[in-house]
């Protein structure tokens, strides 16, 4: 690409090649759009001491189907799970979800609740496709540094990196929770700190996980044990107060293994080894609008960040991508008439983001209550959901994009 592209108007510029920006770029290029993708740091395959990336996500069937449609077939990677077990520190009731509880199986998706995948495996596969795609110009090592929004509907958005100026008919900000694009456009977010950090690692256990995703709600926050492709190895996502996280991250391996075994109620027996630990601050936030300026859209974590306890974040980001594709499929190539459709997308995605972040806050608050009455109500609620096929199907629909 020439050093100064100011004269040419591009179809789409996407800022950020995380899971969501990369999927959006590939999907739009596959639909004949000329896509320019800006990413300061090319993804690399990460593997810890136990052979797995410490960053994993649970992908829903819908998300896997979206990626498969882009040529990213994950059937040879990760671990599908058909059961999910949820229980809490102060209680006797537990919930078990099974793939059969979902009343609307997803088209083309395997009969499972989801698949635990390593983030760097998916981002590097997407990246390999992107750099070879004739419809994508990848600007690796560059970052968006300045932006002039279009004032009228028929203008283009203009943006600068350190090396060039670009004009585009559509700008997609997919540069994560601390989106520079959002800040440059002065778009507000409603940010609600959770007071929690997520401690993430990989651990080996004495017993096999049987492809069950487990989550125990502790008073300090939920602990998830997510099955990986090695039968005794799980990805750990442990949300806890910032104070506990800074204590736990300092523990030696043996002490941490003991703490993990205790917190998981030895549900998989002894913890036999643990990888290094990393922590992430947990906020929940929703952007003012997914389409805050003419010709500008925000997708993925740049638009909303949701607590990881239900494994929703990237799945909702892929729902954003699918919503954009549904519009693009209706517009002829080169058409600029998507404005009202994008405004409707923004309303719908905004409502879903508010609903799910609200639900996650309610979960977090509800499970943190220590009073015996609160524990009783929670146990009654869990038993009610566990015995009702309808309620279970509703929970699964909410988590996989059907609500």
Ligand X SMILES: Cc1cc2nc3c(=O)[nH]c(=O)nc-3n(C[C@H](O)[C@H](O)[C@H](O)COP(=O)(O)OP(=O)(O)OC[C@H]3O[C@@H](n4cnc5c(N)ncnc54)[C@H](O)[C@@H]3O)c2cc1C
Angstrom distance (rounded) from CA 71 to CA 381: 42
Residue 202 pairs in a beta bridge with 235
Place of tokens 């983001």: 353
Q: Are 10 and 169 in contact (CB under 8 A)?
A: yes
Q: Which stretch binds ligand X (CB under 6 A): 38-46, 126-134, 248-256, 356-364?
A: 38-46
Strands of the sheet with 79-81, listed across from one edge: 56-59, 114-118, 79-81
Contact between 74 and 122 under an 8 Å Cβ cutoff? The reply is: yes
Question: Does 80 interact with ligand X (rule: CB under 6 A)?
Answer: no
Q: Does 15 participate in binding ligand X (rule CB under 6 A)?
A: yes
Q: Which residues of 220-243 are buried (b: 16+ CB within 10 A; e: fewer)?
A: bbbbbbbbbbeebbbbbbbbbbee
Considering the complex, state which of residue 151 and residue 162 has its C-beta at the smaller distance from ligand X: 162
**Hey, which residues between 40 and 59 contact ligand X (CB under 6 A)?**
40-41, 57-58
Under the criterion CB under 6 A, does residue 220 sit at the interface with ligand X? no
Q: Does 17 bind ligand X (CB under 6 A)?
A: yes
Q: Is the CB of 283 or the CB of 375 nearer to ligand X?
A: 283
Residues 311, 338, 350, 401: which binds ligand X (CB under 6 A)? 311
Residue 71: CA count within 13 A, CB half-sphere: 13
CB 14 within 8 A of CB 174: yes
Q: Which residues in the 245-304 window bind ligand X by CB under 6 A?
A: 280, 300-301
Distances (CA, A) of 61 to 5, 227, 233, 278, 319: 40, 16, 22, 28, 12
Interaction between residue 363 and ligand X (CB under 6 A): no
- Under rule CB under 6 A, residue 320 binds ligand X: no
CB of 333 to ligand X, least distance (A): 26
Nearest approach, Cβ of residue 319 and ligand X (Å)? 10
Name the region of 226 (left: φ>0; alpha: ψ -120 to 50; beta: rest).
beta
Q: Which of 12, 16, 149, 203 binds ligand X (CB under 6 A)?
A: 16
Bridge partner list, 296:
171, 293
With beta carbons less than 8 A apart as the criterion, state whether 277 and 259 touch. no
C-beta separation of 245 from 263 below 8 A? no
**21: burial class by Cβ within 10 Å (0-12, 13-18, 19+)?**
buried
Cβ proximity to ligand X: between 138 and 144 the closer is: 144
Residue 313, interface with ligand X (CB under 6 A)?
Answer: yes
Question: Counting contacts by CB under 6 A, is residue 175 touching ligand X?
Answer: yes
Question: Is 47 or 161 the residue whose CB approaches ligand X more closely?
Answer: 161
The least distance separating ligand X from the CB of residue 393, rounded to whole angstroms, comes to 20
Compare residues 235 and 257 and give the one whose CB is closer to ligand X. Answer: 235
Site for ligand X in 110-149 (CB under 6 A): 143-144
Residue 246, both tokens: 């800074």
Cα–Cα distance, 247 to 369 (Å, whole number): 22
The strand pairing partners of 139, in sequence order, are 38
Q: Which span (101-109, 203-211, 306-314, 322-330) binds ligand X, by CB under 6 A? A: 306-314
Contacting residue, 39, 88, 121, 275, with ligand X by CB under 6 A: 39
Stretch that binds ligand X, among 94-102, 128-136, 309-317, 381-389 (CB under 6 A): 309-317
Stretch of 71-79, 124-132, 175-183, 366-374 contacting ligand X, by CB under 6 A: 175-183
237/375 with CB nearer ligand X = 237
Is 174 a binding residue for ligand X by CB under 6 A? The answer is: yes
- Say if residues 34 and 213 touch (Cβ distance below 8 Å): no
Map residue 394 onto helix, strand or coil: helix
Q: At what angle do helices 19-30 and 313-328 cross, to 10 degrees?
A: 20
Stretch that binds ligand X, among 9-17, 257-265, 286-294, 367-375 (CB under 6 A): 9-17
Q: Which of 38, 122, 321, 328 binds ligand X (CB under 6 A)?
A: 38
Q: Are strands 189-205 and 278-287 parallel, antiparallel or unpaired?
A: antiparallel
Q: Which of 126-134, 305-313, 354-362, 386-394 is the region at the interface with ligand X (rule: CB under 6 A)? A: 305-313
Judged by CB, which is closer to ligand X: 93, or 297?
297
Question: Which chain residues interact with ligand X by CB under 6 A?
Answer: 15-21, 38-41, 57-58, 143-144, 174-176, 180, 198, 200, 237, 280, 300-301, 308, 311-315, 317
């Amino acid at each position: 690409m020439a050093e100064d592209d100011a004269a040419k108007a591009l179809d789409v510029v996407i800022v950020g090649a995380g899971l969501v920006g990369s999927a959006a770029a590939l999907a739009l290029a596959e639909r004949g759009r000329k896509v320019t993708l800006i990413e300061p740091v090319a993804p690399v395959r990460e593997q810890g001491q136990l052979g797995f990336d410490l960053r994993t996500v649970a992908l829903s069937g819908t998300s896997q189907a979206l990626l498969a449609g882009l040529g990213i077939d994950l059937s040879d990677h990760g671990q599908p799970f058909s059961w999910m077990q949820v229980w809490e520190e102060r209680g006797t009731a537990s919930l078990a979800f099974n793939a059969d509880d979902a009343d609307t199986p997803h088209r083309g998706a395997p009969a499972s609740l989801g698949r635990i995948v390593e983030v760097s495996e998916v981002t590097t596969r997407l990246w390999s496709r992107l750099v070879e795609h004739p419809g994508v110009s990848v600007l690796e090592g560059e970052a968006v540094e300045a932006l002039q929004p279009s004032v009228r509907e028929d203008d283009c958005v203009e943006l600068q990196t350190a090396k060039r100026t670009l004009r585009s008919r559509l700008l997609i900000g997919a540069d994560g929770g601390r989106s520079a694009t959002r800040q440059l456009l002065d778009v507000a977010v409603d940010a609600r700190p959770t007071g929690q950090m997520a401690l993430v690692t990989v651990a080996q256990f004495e017993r096999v996980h049987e492809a069950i995703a487990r989550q125990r709600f502790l008073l300090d926050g939920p602990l998830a044990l997510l099955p990986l492709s090695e039968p005794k190895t799980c990805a750990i996502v442990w949300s806890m107060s910032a104070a506990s996280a800074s204590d736990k991250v300092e523990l030696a391996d043996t002490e941490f293994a003991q703490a993990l075994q205790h917190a998981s109620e030895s549900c998989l027996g002894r913890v036999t080894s643990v990888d290094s630990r990393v922590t992430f601050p947990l906020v929940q936030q929703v952007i003012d609008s997914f389409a805050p300026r003419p010709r500008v859209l925000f997708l993925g974590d740049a638009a909303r960040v949701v607590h990881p306890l239900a494994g929703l974040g990237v799945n909702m980001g892929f729902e954003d991508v699918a919503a954009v594709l549904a519009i693009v499929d209706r517009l002829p190539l080169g058409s600029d008439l998507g404005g009202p459709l994008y405004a409707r997308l923004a309303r719908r995605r905004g409502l879903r983001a508010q609903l799910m972040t609200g639900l996650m806050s309610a979960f977090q608050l509800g499970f943190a209550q220590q009073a015996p009455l609160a524990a009783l109500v929670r146990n009654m609620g869990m038993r009610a959901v566990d015995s009702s096929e309808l309620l279970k199907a509703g929970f699964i629909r909410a988590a996989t994009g059907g609500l």
